[in-house]
């Protein structure tokens, strides 16, 4: 498979590059999906303050509450 002492053949180098391109592509897709999830989370967060503005939410188990 290898030519010389520990050198790579062209075929092995191409296989390795192809494998790394595949890894990079899946990382890129995962990054894209996480960005989409974060954008969706941001949109949900911007909708939350309307709920909070209705009034303070009592803390369950707070000893100062009656």
CA–CA gap between residue 24 and residue 20 (Å, rounded): 6
* Cβ contacts of 34 within 8 Å, gap of 6 or more: none
Give the per-residue pLDDT at 7: 73
Question: What DSSP assignment string belongs to 12-54?
Answer: HHHHHHHHHHHHHHHHHHHHHHHHHHHHHHHHHHHHHHHHHTT
* Greater pLDDT, 59 or 27: 27
> Do residues 3 and 9 lie in contact, with contact meaning Cβ atoms separated by under 8 Å?
yes
Q: What is the pLDDT of residues 5-52, one digit of tens each?
A: 567 799 999 999 999 999 999 999 989 888 888 887 766 655 555 555
pTM for the full predicted model: 0.42
pLDDT for residue 20 = 93
């Amino acid at each position: 498979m290898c030519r010389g002492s520990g050198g790579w053949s062209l075929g092995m180098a191409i296989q390795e590059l192809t494998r790394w391109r595949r890894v990079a592509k899946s990382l890129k897709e995962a990054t894209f999906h996480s960005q989409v999830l974060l954008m969706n989370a941001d949109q949900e967060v911007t909708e939350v303050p309307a709920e909070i503005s209705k009034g303070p939410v009592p803390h369950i188990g707070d000893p100062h509450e009656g």
